[in-house]
Each structure stands twice: as C-alpha cells, then as structure tokens.
Amino acid sequence: NAGVTQTPKFQVLKTGQSMTLQCAQDMNHEYMSWYRQDPGMGLRLIHYSVGAGITDQGEVPNGYNVSRSTTEDFPLRLLSAAPSQTSVYFCASRGQGYGYTFGSGTRLTVV
C-alpha cells in the first residue's frame, strides 16, 4: 500500500545510546518532515526537507540530525539519547496538494 512507512514501531534506548528512526515514502513526495508528540503538547516539528539534499530545522531540532539523500527516505538520528527524548515520533510527507500523509509512528522510550 502506498504511504509513509516508519520503523521501528517501538524502541527502548539507554541514555547516551544512538539510533536512527527510519522513514520511507513511495508517493514521490518532495516534502517530508518529522514531528514528536508528547502528552498535552500536540505535535511539534523537529526537522523538515523540501527535497533531496535540502533540510532545515523546525521548532524543536536540538538533539536530532537529519539528512535526505533520496526522495524516498528521510531518517531521523538521535546521536546521544536523553530521557527528554522519550516521545512518539511521526514522519509525514506531502506532494504539491498540501495534504500531509503521516506514518503510524515510532514509540521511543529512553531510560
């Protein structure tokens, strides 16, 4: 099925560990973005990309890195995980029609 695929669905990390959250879309969308969802906070934009090779920071970028080497993939890297990064992470993509398609999320716990 066409859409946005996020892996893994669940992850537990120890403080200081690194990991990469994967996001792939098969709709040939130019625009992709990462959000974190915390209770009572809604979703907040971490990083976004307007095309392969072009990324920029959102509202809460600290502690996260991104790159966009292909149109399909937009991985989110945590270099040194902290308990404050415990959250549910969503990846989204859109084409020219402005309707963002969201993945099903990655639930990350940092202990």
C-beta closer to another protein: residue 35 or 81: 35
In whole angstroms, give the CA distance from residue 34 to residue 66: 9
- Does 102 help bind another protein (rule: CB under 8 A)? yes
Q: Within positions 13 to 72, which residues make up the interface with another protein, using CB under 8 A?
A: 31, 33, 35, 40-45, 48-50, 56, 58-59
- Nearest alpha carbon to residue 15 among 89, 108, 105, 90: 108
Which stretches of the chain bind another protein, using CB under 8 A?
4, 31, 33, 35, 40-45, 48-50, 56, 58-59, 90, 92, 94, 98-105
